[in-house]
Amino acid sequence: LLDPDTRIGLAPLSQVAGDRFEAMALTAQDAQRGIVLSPVRVRLTPIVEQIRTALRDGALPLRALEQAVLPSTADQRQQAALRQFLAHLDAIGILQVTTRPEASTRAWHPAAAAPTAAPDTTGGGYLDVYRQVLGAPPTADLRLLGAALTQSMRLQAMIRADAQPTPRAGAGLSAQDRPLLDIVREHLASRTPASGAATPSTHPEPVGWPRATTPGSGYARLLDHLAERTDAGRTIDLTPELLDRFAAPPAHLPWPLDCTVRPLPDGSGALDIVAPAAVLDARFGSALRRLHGGALPSADAYRSWLRRLDADSGIRSVELLFPALSRYAANAVRRPLYPSAWTGDPDLGAYCDDGPATGGFLPLGELTARAGEDGRTVISHRGEPIRPLYHSARTAPPPWDVVAGLLLSASPQNHGWVRRLRHPLCALPEHDYVPRITVAGVLVLSAAQWRVPVHRLPSPDAGGLDQARQLLRLRDELGLPRFVFVSAAPGARAPLPCDLESLQALGVLRRMAGGAAKDHAVVIEEMVPAPGELGVRDRADPAGSPVAAELMLRIPPGG
């Protein structure tokens, strides 16, 4: 605490309780298990109240806190006494002490001039490397791709309608406002290693095409349509007319979306991820501004849209900030502050380069939660509803997973997290092959894919040459392309790329087969685009190897 630039803030999980100020303090072991002990409480003495008031709007440098608390005539003895008291409050968990991150940027330089030694991270630093490329992605018709992306949201609406979801407020909520931290404490107190209680997720995680749950629904009939055409071997295209035929609802986009698309040589594209706007690229915002001379139109336009939304609705948007999983991942939570206010961690400088000077911090201890009339969660600050937002792709660590689960259940961003429809085999368990599925002829939703029983893969007991022959026969029988992705099961995450003409292919297949114990089958899907269809090359690679590239397209509310 001796450095005047040390930043001091109130513990994020803290609130006033009568004549006491309390904070939820966790040991390292308890934080790992997500269990909160009894709150630490101190009396609201005049000095504690002065400190709390001074830190009400967020973390401050020690120098500024001393100026706010000590009289102008204070001597070194009074200053030393205050610092000792602040150190005590930090030690028991009432305050948190941080150091503002320092950033340094190195200009573009040839790859040969890059440092050969590993960066020094003894101070908890991290290194981001940006590389330039040669060439450009294949030209895509953005208008057609945008229209197809909007049509793909109709399929997502069909899936939701088939599941018949109902709005549900967070557990422990009633029609009456309750302090948010009281609810968080109840959730954490009930979570033990043996309880098996589910952890609220920062982002929804469904993957793959789901099976139909409502007989006769539009989605169920669409799956029947797909099942009838899997054996033809031709691309199945979901046209707007076909979606109309199966009563697909209109695309309902209450929140802007960012969609990453891999361009293909014919002007079409393969859909990768759909997320709420300004989430996927948020962590690169500061670097992109520096690389492009301060101009970042997409971020500026989104911030302006949020401001208009707040003004038109009378509801304030509030960003949730919580620490990274470790100090070595601190760069993963860096982002612009798009709303005009934030909650959670009071130390804005650890996350954002810019922000309001005062009045932007809403302490968690001042938030309440209740169940609205429509069953949804309503979060309020001093009686006024707020709109919680979270512009990061990082998962919340304990105990922030509970805080995020409660706050973000009230966020309209939830409409932007949709299924990645990578594996239709999940919804067609009786089929071992599904051809490529597209939307409006220009957007690839799912690549062609094969469900291959483990016993059909090259036998690990055979010699290397025999295994190569077995793989060649399997490719001929199934019509497998050279470049593929291999997954341990339908819907499995982290598929491995594989060149079936490479000596490494047998090892990739064995590795995936080892994780396929449940279904006893792996999934092999075509790589879209294949390496020969990549138009971008890595300038840092002496061989100029091609690299994958994606376009990020923003879909405005309403489509």
Q: Quick one: pLDDT at residue 114?
A: 57
Q: Quick one: pLDDT at residue 203?
A: 56
The correct answer on CATH 3.30.1490 for the domain covering 448-526 is yes
State the burial class of residue 259 (Cβ atoms within 10 Å of its Cβ: 0-12, 13-18, 19+).
Answer: buried
Strand partners, 329: none
Q: Quick one: pLDDT at residue 540?
A: 84
For the sheet containing 449-453, what is the strand order?
Answer: 433-434, 449-453, 521-526, 483-487, 496-499
Can you give 260-307 as a three-state secondary structure string? EEEECCCCCEEEEEEEECCCCCHHHHHHHHHHCCCCCHHHHHHHHHHH
Strand partners, 546: 537
Angstrom distance (rounded) from CA 214 to CA 246? 14
**Residues in CB range of 267: below 8 A, 6 or more apart:** 138, 139, 140, 141, 144, 442
Q: Quick one: pLDDT at residue 199?
A: 42
**Residues in CB range of 262: below 8 A, 6 or more apart:** 269, 270, 272, 528, 529, 548, 549, 550, 551
Q: Quick one: pLDDT at residue 64?
A: 94
Q: Quick one: pLDDT at residue 197?
A: 39
Q: Quick one: pLDDT at residue 1?
A: 55
| Pair of tokens at residue 141 | 């018709």
Q: Quick one: pLDDT at residue 173?
A: 85
Q: Which regions of the chain are under pLDDT 70?
A: 1-2, 26-38, 111-125, 165-172, 191-207, 326-328, 355-359, 517-519
Q: Quick one: pLDDT at residue 194?
A: 38
Residue 452 DSSP class: E
